[in-house]
Structure 1
Amino acid sequence: MRKGVVVPTVVSALLSATPIAALAQTSFTLYGAVDNAIAYTSNQKGKSNVYLKSGSLESSKFGFKGSEDLGGGNQAFFRLESGFNVNNGAMSDAGYIFSRLAYVGVNNDRYGSLTLGRQYTPYLLYVGALGAAPALTGATGAHPGDIDQLDVDSRASNAVTYTSPNIAGLQVSTLYALGGVAGDFPSGNTFSTALKYNYNQLALAVGYLKVTNNDTPGKFSTNATGTFDQSPINAGYVSAHAVQYLAAAANYTFGPLLVGLNYANVQYQPDAGSLFHDTAVFNNYGAIATYLVNPAISLAAGYSYTRASSANGVTDPARFHQFSFEQTYSLSKRSTIYFLEAYQHATGQTLGPAGAGDIVNSVAMVGRISNSTPSSGSSQFVGMVGFRHRF
């Protein structure tokens, strides 16, 4: 099906339906998760620390979702989701009620779905779901600094997404988020497309994501439609004109055992307003394994290797080795006790916040938990014990 006729076909199919109020079926669900853990970090800017960490196995959140059967194979649906910190009650993003998700959409069984609003990118939903995301929490299991955006924060505002129906295990999804800058249509926009294929025990996915800066010299604008995790790994490249991600993942299930591989290429692309001059490239290679001991106990392990390119005056590029582990015990369908452990070792150099010329030694920062509290040196260990309750 040609891209140019997909949306009109979906819309015309939906408009042709004749909903009958007396027969319409509706649903409404309040859902969420409350998650908290006691964490130990061996090195936070030079000192060890013991603290409480909200949202370690799963983000603490609440949300509303609903749907209505419009007849003729058509459905209307919506979703609103907000994150919060269990330890102080604060919203995850100050000033935003539903910062995680806020969208409305229509679906046709034959032609697919169209959604409008703040949404996850297809890149994350398809490739991230086969990488570390389902097996290893973003707190400690995300690839260093979430450099490849395969953790749970890859979202886009002002977005329009078309998702095809599942055809013999193959599904495609494409998102475009409008930057909203008058006279400069491409500024601040986000584009993502991905496909996935499932065949028996095999699952494959490939995805593309590009987040464009809102032409804010010297930094990445908070008004850009797409999210962009920042850490000491990419501190020298936050003035990029655009960040481009290309990733692939594959999983295979052998009874209770699942094994998987993933790869991501990340490029920070400069322009005249950037504080660096050469495109910076990071390649990330990952492997995961999960094992279901019994219906209540599951184990997971992962390894990732991240390497930067030689550019912008850096001749000994940054390299990161990370090992992550997870053990969960389900007390019920809703309540889970968990243990998380991760170790990272960093070598080489990267750019500091000042950009070109500001060459600094790489420091370790496990997963995403240490983006704002990196190690003062090359190694860092994080261990957690926590409890999650879903509703």
Structure 2
Amino acid sequence: MKLRSMAAAVLFAISGGAFAQSTVTLYGVVDANLEYVNHVGAVPTGLNQFNRGPSHAVYRLDSGGLSLSRWGLRGTEDLGGGLKSLFVLESGFALDTGTSQQSGRLFGRQAFVGVQQAGIGQLTLGRQYTSMFEALANFSPTAYATQYEPLVLQSGANFREDNTVKYTGQFGPVTALAHWSFGTGLALPATAAVATPIGGNGEVAGQFRRDTAYGAAATYGAGPFGVALGYDQWNPTIGTGSGAFKKATIAASYSDGPAKIMGGYRWGQNKNAADVLIQRDDFYWIGANYQATPAIGLTLEYNYDNVKNQFGDTHVANPWQIAFMATYAFSKRTDVYVTTAYAKNAGLMLESVGTGFATSFSLDNSYALPNGQNSMLGVAVGLRHKF
């Protein structure tokens, strides 16, 4: 009897130790705000005969100002010898309506599984962020705040991709990233200047290049300085072939006490299936964060896009935007904020035909300029809670 009791105790200790090496965490963000936007028109699609319509002011309740609302699960298991398995499942939803975002996907923000080996890096498979998007995360003054951040213009509408294999390696102050997508799963409908939809599900037998994408990036951060380099290419379905949407970027940052300044440059070139230029532009951004007190944070950001060619037009009015954000933290989990932006020659977030109006489609809120207007102003006041 005593021997059986000792054996049971040993087995319990072993199983308890193994269990302790596995972790699963539930996390999320809920974020909502009240927003006012002037000069709002309709996204020009076939449903409205590609007509932007008249100008309207909009008052609305939005989901996501500092962060898109989400919930997720992430976990790791220690396999021994420095090897770990890991997974992330992250679902995006609209807090104002309770509906799923990312085209109704259950885990539309992220969904991947992988392995990690100490000193070598990690390999992950599933729906993931592109290498360039991840590399620039710490070089965006607003930290990818969803309200008024021109993310799609900066990193491309394909900043999340289905069917992706991704490598991430951490080597001291250097992080290296590379990815390949067998089919991004991104499809944008036809808009005013684009006669056919762009993108699709990919992974079509006999059409290996269709809707594939790939990229690589590297970041360095030591002391007050940081720098990032990246390249991204998406080969979306256009008609019966596939185009080539290419982007390359360099960014830098400098921190000094409560202040941080950062900026960057992104080169872009999009071509259709016949290798004809659709768009060529140079995008710039600069901004700063200032932690005025432990509770109060301030952010200022300026964006400018030098459009050299857009659907054959070499005289496009260059869009620019200035944005300001202030936050007050009640605690580590709960904060309130006010955010505002003014955009010229494009909608807020520099939304235009140049971005395929991808942000408006994603958020289900139009930021398209109407007929007869060339500027847009937005102001939002919101509340965010992290768990």
Q: Structure 1 length as normaliser, TM-score?
A: 0.78
Match of 2:273 in 1: 271
Match of 2:174 in 1: 170
The within-5 A match list for 1:42-191 is 42-45=38-41, 46-134=55-143, 137-142=145-150, 146-149=152-155, 154-164=159-169, 166-179=170-183, 180-191=203-214
Question: Against the structure 1 CA distance between its residues 137 and 95, is the aligned structure 2 distance closer, same or farther, given a 3 Å change threshold?
Answer: closer
Question: How far does residue 268 in structure 1 lie from its aligned partner after superposition?
Answer: 1.1
Q: Is the 8 A contact 2:130 2:215 kept in 1?
A: yes
Match of 2:247 in 1: 245
Secondary structure at the aligned position of 2:204 is classed as coil
1:3-34: CA deviation from partner (whole Å, max 9, x where unpaired): xxxxxxxxxxxxxxxxx966430111110011
1:189-210: CA deviation from partner (whole Å, max 9, x where unpaired): 1101000011211111011111
1:341-376: CA deviation from partner (whole Å, max 9, x where unpaired): 1001118xxxx97x9xxxxxxx9x99x979733222
Higher mean Cα deviation, 371-380 or 24-33? 371-380
Q: Is the 8 A contact 2:317 2:345 kept in 1?
A: yes
Letter in 1 for 2:315: D
Question: How far does residue 138 in structure 1 lie from its aligned partner after superposition?
Answer: 2.6
Match of 1:200 in 2: 223
CA distance in structure 1 between the partners assigned to 2:224 and 2:147 by the alignment:
28
Q: Is the 8 A contact 2:227 2:253 kept in 1?
A: yes
1:307-326: CA deviation from partner (whole Å, max 9, x where unpaired): 21136441412301200000
Question: How far does residue 187 in structure 1 lie from its aligned partner after superposition?
Answer: 1.7
Q: Is the 8 A contact 2:35 2:381 kept in 1?
A: yes
1:147-192: CA deviation from partner (whole Å, max 9, x where unpaired): 12279x711111111112x223112111011132212222211101
Higher mean Cα deviation, 302-311 or 72-81? 302-311
Q: Is the 8 A contact 1:142 1:150 kept in 2?
A: no
Unaligned ranges ≥5, structure 2: 1-13, 42-54, 184-202, 347-351
1:233-262: CA deviation from partner (whole Å, max 9, x where unpaired): xxxxxxx71211111111100110000111
Secondary structure at the aligned position of 2:366 is classed as coil
Equivalent in 366, 379, 382 of residue 383 of structure 1: 379
Q: Is the 8 A contact 1:132 1:141 kept in 2?
A: no
CA distance in structure 2 between the partners assigned to 1:371 and 1:284 by the alignment:
24
Q: Is the 8 A contact 1:297 1:330 kept in 2?
A: yes
CA distance in structure 1 between the partners assigned to 2:67 and 2:131 by the alignment:
20
Secondary structure at the aligned position of 2:237 is classed as coil
Percent identity (aligned):
31
Match of 1:373 in 2: 367
1:120-147: CA deviation from partner (whole Å, max 9, x where unpaired): 111111124312451x61311325xx21
Letter in 1 for 2:79: L
Secondary structure at the aligned position of 1:205 is classed as strand
1:92-141: CA deviation from partner (whole Å, max 9, x where unpaired): 1344211110000110111111101011111111124312451x613113
Secondary structure at the aligned position of 1:125 is classed as helix
Q: Which has the larger radius of gyration?
A: 2
Q: CA RMSD in A?
A: 2.6
Match of 1:298 in 2: 297
Match of 1:14 in 2: none
CA distance in structure 2 between the partners assigned to 1:271 and 1:150 by the alignment:
18
The within-5 A match list for 1:219-258 is 241-258=243-260
Match of 2:232 in 1: 209
Q: Is the 8 A contact 1:344 1:381 kept in 2?
A: yes
Q: Is the 8 A contact 1:188 1:215 kept in 2?
A: no
Q: Is the 8 A contact 2:141 2:299 kept in 1?
A: no
CA distance in structure 2 between the partners assigned to 1:250 and 1:47 by the alignment:
39
CA distance in structure 2 between the partners assigned to 1:132 and 1:138 by the alignment:
12
